[in-house]
A and B are shown apart, each in its own frame.
Chain A
Amino acid sequence: MALSKKTLINMYETMNKIRLFELRLQELFAASEIPGFVHLYLGEEAVATGACAALTDNDMITSTHRGHGHLLAKGGDLKLMMAEIFGKKTGYCKGKGGSMHIADLDLGILGANGIVGGGGPLAAGAALAAKYRKNNDVAMCFFGDGASNQGTTQESLNLASAWKLPLVFVNENNGYGISCPQCKSMAVVDIADRAAAYDMPGVVVDGNDVLAVYEAISEAVKRARKGEGPSLVECKTYRWRGHFEGDACTYRCVEELEEWKAKDPIPRFESKLIENKTFTKDEAEKIKAQIEKAVDEAVVYAKESPMPSASALMDDVYA
């Protein structure tokens, strides 16, 4: 798949945006500056980046509790996200949602979701709306290996295939459902094998290779747009951090983490881009420095923003 320089650089920017944003969250959380829970996406940047690169703003995604990567890849704004995570009035959801419930329907983000497996039925609804309107849009459901065992996911896979909905199921298999390794929660090695039960294509890709992800997802998106129904793309990746910040991670060994860190998707992609002369090492560093600056600005914006006032408590319970 020949991609334009602009697309490749956009992907590189997106991956770094996710990485640097989350590294900053890690620090801020450790410094007790962020309320609530934070589930970091570090190490999985290639999945959201490659998948969302195949979509337009009109295509809807449903995200997960580990959703910052999806939201940024779909075009989410650093400042508004940071402010929301800080619980500020200026955040994406006026401080009402926090890390797990960021949404921006204008960008096609039908919300991150605190319920494992919660997004499948909603994505089926978004795909149904696209089919109903015949507008050629698709929906995409991000879900993890843990969520792949939920009844809601099976129901959504089944409905999508029975009704040929324009829906792409993106499974981010990071090896662990909270503390439970995949081998203990299911007998299958490849979650993509489950696609056969619903008579849809199921493919496995290296989730740390952004171009492999992009290629597989693009194929699935093309199928969906043509009215050929849903697909399941399993992206094998790894979660660098614990399930949540503060998780002691006693359930896995350091060697395993190191092994995966050696497969870090960002340097891998960067070498490729330098090799094919998309950019130079200096240009790559410049991109990272610019993003670092933007993250700094987002933190300042979030910190300087006001908290929601008590009078906002009852706003938006009803339309």
Chain B
Amino acid sequence: MSEKTYLQALNEALRQEMERDENVFILGEDVGQFGGCFGVTQGLFDQFGCDRVMDTPITESVIVGAATGAAACGLRPVAELMFVDFIGVSMDQLFNQAAKMRYMFGGKTTVPMTLRAPQGAGIGAAAQHSQCLESWFMNIPGLKVAIPSTPYDAKGLLISAIRDDNPVVFLEHKMLYGVTGEVPDESYTIEIGKADIKREGSDVTIVATSQMVYAALEAAEKLKADGINAEVVDPRCVLPLDKETILESVKKTHALVVVHEAVQFSGPGAEIAAIVAEEAIDYLDAPIKRVGAPFCPVPFSPPLEQHYIPGVKNIIEAVKSIR
């Protein structure tokens, strides 16, 4: 066990899986010598060569589609999109091809493909390079969606994603690449669709994903001063969603706040809130609160961008409005 960044954890997952299984390969823009848009694939080109770490042209449809086709033929491609925002270019290959292939073909094939993509605001990348789009993918049967917050989760989930026989969209937050945490040196897996309680509490459940997990933990610390003991639940994957852990927590705390950086309206939190309303409303003694980004594109100007990203203050306000 040693201290590693989120980026190192992802890099280690890729390297260990490529060492373990010769069917695993990487393709995407700048993944080779350059080491990936944010540096996640650093060193892999030197170790595995251009036959297994493939620099593609800037053509996202064929990146996703070739990964899908190769996966259907029995390989385990890990495709990288430089930014999740580019999924629009290749959406058909993901949602009409990769996600539906197995079902349409009556179970005749598997599509063991992983699509890694950084998302999120915070680096002044503006409207087309800063979105959180997990709710787009959540609405597509056939996909799985991982959205890890910690280095430990990032490594274990990426290894699981690569080994999974279904297409997995793996959403990394670009503000988390430098975050450090304890990560085992050896290979390990984390079950896809299994939530993690990041902080135990008794008074309110805060369900948070990705970078918002850190904001939720900070808010929970600050709420202690007001005598509010918050539980922070990190789903780690939004598809499948571990509703059991969320419901169990809500049944214990009797209150729910859902936090994500994705736009609040019709965001992933809407589904979580609806599930709790349908299945545990009798346990709630206050309305469910959601914290998400406002309904506007991500602005460029740094102060505006900071205003756009939900933060500790918004979470504390939401909790205090019901507790």
Residue of A121, A132, A152, A162 with highest tally of chain B CB at under 10 A: A121
Residues of A121-171 at the interface with B, using a CB-CB cut-off of 8 Å, are 121-130, 132, 139, 151-152, 155-156, 158-159, 162-163
A139 to B54, alpha carbons, bound, how many Å?
Answer: 19
Q: Does A310 contact B (CB under 8 A)?
A: no
A216 to B71, alpha carbons, bound, how many Å?
Answer: 30
Which of B60-68, B230-238, B262-270 is near enough to bind chain A?
A: B60-68
Contacts of A24 on B, CB cut-off 8 Å?
A: none
Contacts of B68 on A, CB cut-off 8 Å?
A: 121-122, 125
Known pairs A115-B92, A118-B92, A125-B65 / 19 extra A-B pairs, C-beta < 8 Å: A92-B106, A92-B108, A93-B108, A95-B106, A97-B104, A97-B105, A105-B72, A115-B96, A121-B69, A124-B69, A125-B73, A126-B69, A132-B51, A152-B65, A159-B66, A317-B141, A318-B142, A319-B111, A319-B166
Known: A114-B96, A129-B69. A121 touches B61 (CB 8 A): yes
Complex contact A94–B107 (CB within 8 A): yes
Known: A122-B97, A132-B70, A152-B93. A317 touches B108 (CB 8 A): no
A239 to B164, alpha carbons, bound, how many Å?
Answer: 42
Known: A128-B69, A129-B73, A317-B142. A93 touches B93 (CB 8 A): no
Known: A122-B97, A125-B65, A162-B57. A103 touches B108 (CB 8 A): yes
Known: A121-B64, A125-B66. A105 touches B108 (CB 8 A): yes
Known: A158-B59, A319-B166. A123 touches B69 (CB 8 A): yes
| Contacts A/B (CB < 8 Å), 17 sampled | A96-B103, A103-B109, A110-B69, A121-B62, A122-B65, A124-B66, A125-B69, A129-B73, A129-B75, A152-B65, A152-B93, A156-B65, A158-B62, A316-B103, A317-B142, A318-B144, A319-B112
Q: Does A43 contact B (CB under 8 A)?
A: no
- Please give me the residue from chain A that is nearest to B102 by CB atom: A316
Contacts of A121 on B, CB cut-off 8 Å?
A: 61-62, 64-66, 68-69, 93, 97
Known: A128-B69, A132-B51. A91 touches B59 (CB 8 A): no
A159 CB contact (under 8 Å) in B25, B56, B108: B56
Residues of B87-131 at the interface with A, using a CB-CB cut-off of 8 Å, are 92-93, 96-97, 101-112
- Please give me the residue from chain B that is nearest to A113 by CB atom: B97
Q: Does B165 contact A (CB under 8 A)?
A: yes
Contacts of A163 on B, CB cut-off 8 Å?
A: 54
Digitize B134-175: 1 where CB-to-A-CB distance is under 8 Å, 0 elsewhere. Answer: 000000011010000000000000000000111000000000
Complex contact B104–A152 (CB within 8 A): no
Contacts of B165 on A, CB cut-off 8 Å?
A: 319
Contacts of B96 on A, CB cut-off 8 Å?
A: 114-115, 118
Digitize B166-200: 1 where CB-to-A-CB distance is under 8 Å, 0 elsewhere. Answer: 10000000000000000000000000000000000
Q: Does B201 contact A (CB under 8 A)?
A: no
Contacts of B142 on A, CB cut-off 8 Å?
A: 317-318
Q: Does A207 contact B (CB under 8 A)?
A: no
Q: Shortest CB–CB separation between residue B70 and chain A, in angstroms?
A: 4
Complex contact B75–A93 (CB within 8 A): no
Residues of A70-116 at the interface with B, using a CB-CB cut-off of 8 Å, are 91-97, 101, 103-105, 110-111, 113-115
Contacts of B97 on A, CB cut-off 8 Å?
A: 113, 115, 118, 121-122
Residue of B96, B104, B142 with highest tally of chain A CB at under 10 A: B104
Residue of B102, B141, B142, B164 with highest tally of chain A CB at under 10 A: B102
Q: Does A60 contact B (CB under 8 A)?
A: yes
Q: Shortest CB–CB separation between residue B171 and chain A, in angstroms?
A: 19
B contact residues, range = 35 or more
A130 to B65, alpha carbons, bound, how many Å?
Answer: 15
Q: Does B74 contact A (CB under 8 A)?
A: yes
The interface of chain A, by Cβ under 8 A from chain B, is 60, 62, 91-97, 101, 103-105, 110-111, 113-115, 118, 120-130, 132, 139, 151-152, 155-156, 158-159, 162-163, 315-319
A123 to B71, alpha carbons, bound, how many Å?
Answer: 11
- Please give me the residue from chain A that is nearest to B69 by CB atom: A125
Contacts of B56 on A, CB cut-off 8 Å?
A: 159
Residues of B7-42 at the interface with A, using a CB-CB cut-off of 8 Å, are 25
Contacts of A156 on B, CB cut-off 8 Å?
A: 62, 65
Known: A103-B105, A316-B106, A319-B165. A155 touches B72 (CB 8 A): no
Residues of B225-259 at the interface with A, using a CB-CB cut-off of 8 Å, are none
- Please give me the residue from chain B that is nearest to A131 by CB atom: B51
Contacts of A110 on B, CB cut-off 8 Å?
A: 69, 72-73
Contacts of B106 on A, CB cut-off 8 Å?
A: 91-97, 316
Residue of A60, A115, A316 with highest tally of chain B CB at under 10 A: A316
Q: Shortest CB–CB separation between residue A319 and chain B, in angstroms?
A: 4
Contacts of A95 on B, CB cut-off 8 Å?
A: 106
A128 to B206, alpha carbons, bound, how many Å?
Answer: 45
- Please give me the residue from chain B that is nearest to A121 by CB atom: B65
Contacts of A151 on B, CB cut-off 8 Å?
A: 61
Complex contact B75–A124 (CB within 8 A): no
Q: Shortest CB–CB separation between residue B57 and chain A, in angstroms?
A: 6
Complex contact B71–A125 (CB within 8 A): yes
A103 to B103, alpha carbons, bound, how many Å?
Answer: 11
